[in-house]
Chain A
C-alpha cells in the first residue's frame, strides 16, 4: 500500500513534472515555479505562464531523517527528506539518497536523480519520480 492510493490518470498527468522536472515560468515577472501552475500568484490575470524545464541542480534548504515512515515507505526507513532550493529559485520536497547522510547539511549542493518513489502494492502501479543526491556523493550506503 502506498501512502495514498491514486489512480492511473493522476499519475499520468504528473509524468512531465515528476520525471523531467517541468515547471512554469511567468513571462511577465520571470518567476519560475514548480510544480506547474496555471496562474502566476504574483501577476495573477496579468501573468502569462509557459512551461519550462528546470535543471535539477540546487541545494538543501532544510532536511530531516524519517524514522517513523508512512505505510509504503517502511523498507526505506530511515530515509532522508529535504526541501531543495533549485538554482532557478523554486523549492520542492524530495528524498535525498545515494549519498552519505552525514554529508547532507543546510546548503549542501545536490542534483536530481530518477528513482522509484513508491508502489501500490504487489500488483499496482509503480510510481517513479525525482529524488536528489549530493553532487560530490558517490554510491555510499546511507549511514549515519
Chain B
C-alpha cells in the first residue's frame, strides 16, 4: 500500500442555493479543488463521487457520468458511491484505496447533494431511505424520531439532559458564524434551542441539522509525489469503515454506534495513535445527541460522559479537543452526499493553518467521522500535516 496525501481541497458555500443546480455545485467544488492542487485536468486518473439521493431529489441517476461531463474530464472513469449520509466519506475512502493500491495516481473525490429543488416533505422522504424503509419509515418513524429514541435512552442510562444537547447546537452555530462557507452565519443561545418547536421529543428544531445544498471536493495523490503539487500536503494516515444493522431497533444498544466504535478503533490502530493525539475533529452531528454519542464512541471521553464534556466546554474552539470547527452538520449544513468530503476539506484547512477565524492553533493531527443513516455505516479518516 502506498501512502496517500490530500493536495487539493475546496467547497461551495453551503445553504439554500436557489440560483445553482446540482451540476453547478459539483463543478465549482471540483474545479476549485483541482486548481487548489495546482493540477491540470489532464493529470487526473479517476473520479469518485458521493451522493445519496439524486434520483429522488433531482430525478437524476448516473451522476458521476454527469460530473465527468460537466467538469470536462471525460474519458476517465467516474464512479458513484452511495452510503446514505456517509456517501461522501465512503467516496473519499474509495479514492484513498484506489491511490493507495497503486492503481490510480491522481484522483478527485467529490461529494454533492442538491436538496432544495423539492419540497421539504419530499426531501424528508428521500432521507428516510437511509433507514429501514419497510420496518421503520413505513410505521411512521422519521429520522429525528430514531435519533430521539437514542437521546431518550442516553438520558435514561446516563442522565444526559436536553440542555446539554442544546449546548452542542450553540457551540456549532458559534463555529459556523466564523465560517463563510457555512449554511448558518448566526450565533444562537441556549434559550433559542430550548424554545424551538418540538420535532420528535426530546429533540427540537435546533437539535436537527438542516436541509442544505452544497458540494465539496478533495484531490488525492501518492505522498511521494505530493510536493510536486503543494507545499502543504496533508497525509491520510488512516481510513476505516464499519457496518451495523440497517434498523436502529436491531442494535444491542441505542447509546452507542458500534460502527463508530469499530471504525475509529481500527483507524487508531492503523495510524498507531490514540484519541488523545487528535488536535481537531469533525464528527457527524446530524442531531445534537449524535455529537455527544460520538465523543464517547471515538474515545475522547468515557461512555456516558459526553454530556458533561460539552457542558465543560471541552470541545469548543479553545477546548481540549475542538470538535466541528466548521460548524458541523448542524451549523455548516448537511447536504448529505457532500458532508463526508466537506469534513475532510475542513480538516485539511485546519492542518494547513488556513482556517482563519476558527483556526485551532498548532493543529497537526485531525480526524473525520461520517455516519450513514442511524449508524449502519461509519467511516473514519485520520489526517496528519506533513512537516
List A residues at the B interface (Cβ < 8 Å).
3-4, 10, 14, 35, 61-71, 73, 76, 78-79, 81-83, 91-95, 106, 117-118, 127, 129
Contacts and interface: CB of A to CB of B under 8 A. Distances in A.
A83 B254 contact: yes
B145 A64 contact: yes
Given A70-B140, A78-B198, A81-B141, 8 more contacts: A4-B129, A64-B202, A66-B200, A68-B142, A70-B128, A76-B140, A91-B250, A129-B138
Interface stretch (B107-115, B147-155, B166-174): B147-155
Interface residues of B, number: 36
Contacts of A4: 125, 128-129, 133, 137-138
B145 A95 contact: no
B145 A81 contact: yes
A62 B150 contact: yes
B118 to A, nearest CB: 12
A53 B128 CA distance: 29
A81 B137 CA distance: 11
Task: Point out which of B125, B136, B140 has the most chain A C-beta atoms below 10 A from its C-beta.
Answer: B140
B140 A117 contact: yes
B125 A62 contact: no
B124 A70 contact: yes
Q: Please report whether the interface of chain B is mostly helix, strand, loop or mixed according to DSSP.
A: helix
Contact of A83 (B137, B199, B202, B248): B248
Given A64-B148, A66-B145, A70-B121, A118 B138 contact: yes
Given A71-B121, A83-B254, A64 B201 contact: yes
A93 B200 contact: no
A82 B200 CA distance: 11
Given A64-B148, A81-B145, A69 B140 contact: yes
A92 B200 contact: no
Contacts of A81: 139-141, 145, 149, 200
A67 B201 contact: yes
B134 interface: yes
Contacts of A71: 121-122, 124-125
29 contacts: A4-B133, A61-B249, A61-B254, A63-B149, A63-B152, A64-B149, A64-B152, A64-B202, A65-B201, A66-B140, A66-B142, A66-B144, A66-B145, A67-B197, A67-B201, A68-B198, A69-B140, A69-B142, A70-B125, A76-B140, A81-B149, A91-B250, A93-B135, A93-B248, A95-B139, A106-B152, A106-B153, A117-B138, A117-B140
A70 B142 contact: yes
B52 interface: no
Contacts of B198: 65, 67-68, 78
A62 B200 contact: no
A133 B145 CA distance: 18
A71 B124 CA distance: 9
Task: Point out which of A63, A68, A106 has the most chain B C-beta atoms below 10 A from its C-beta.
Answer: A68
B149 A83 contact: yes
B201 A93 contact: no
A83 B200 CA distance: 14
A54 B200 CA distance: 29
B357 interface: no
A130 B202 CA distance: 24
A138 to B, nearest CB: 23
Contacts of A70: 121, 124-125, 128, 137, 140, 142
A92 B153 CA distance: 15
Nearest to A106: B156
Contacts of B153: 61-62, 106
Contacts of B125: 3-4, 70-71
Contact of A62 (B124, B140, B144, B149): B149
A13 B144 CA distance: 28
Contacts of B250: 91
B247 interface: yes
A68 B200 contact: yes
A67 B122 CA distance: 17
Contacts of A14: 134
